[in-house]
Amino acid sequence: MTKQCFGTSHVPLSPAVRAGDFVFVSGQVPVGADGIVVKGGITEQTEQVLTNVKAALALAGCGMEDVVKTTVWIEDARDFGVFNAVYAKHFPKDPPARTTVESRLMIDIKIEVEAVAYKPL
């Protein structure tokens, strides 16, 4: 099995890595193209994070429909309902398996999401 890395980051990670038929997307945070955390609450930050997941998937030739598993860290469990509503819009049919936990995050953000996609070559 070969490994391909896609994209670059200012920290030592690859935004997406293909290993065989699987694509692993590193944890995406709510930063825009300018590298600045988006303003707003869990709604705005979830939208940006999922936009970033989609962009990382695209680097490896995948889309949101190829995602089979996500792991989500939210800073405040009270935001779960709002997060869940935004998330559902991005996975309207056959959503992936998911783990969601409340956690203190590495920077001052409300959410981080990583994903695993399956797309045979």
Cα 112 from Cα 105, distance rounded (Å): 8
> Residue 82: is its pLDDT beyond 90?
yes
- pLDDT tens digits for 26-73? 999 999 989 999 999 999 999 999 999 999 999 999 999 999 999 999
pLDDT (0 to 100) of residue 11 = 87
pTM: 0.95
pLDDT top residue among 84 and 1? 84
Whether the predicted pLDDT of 12 surpasses 90? no
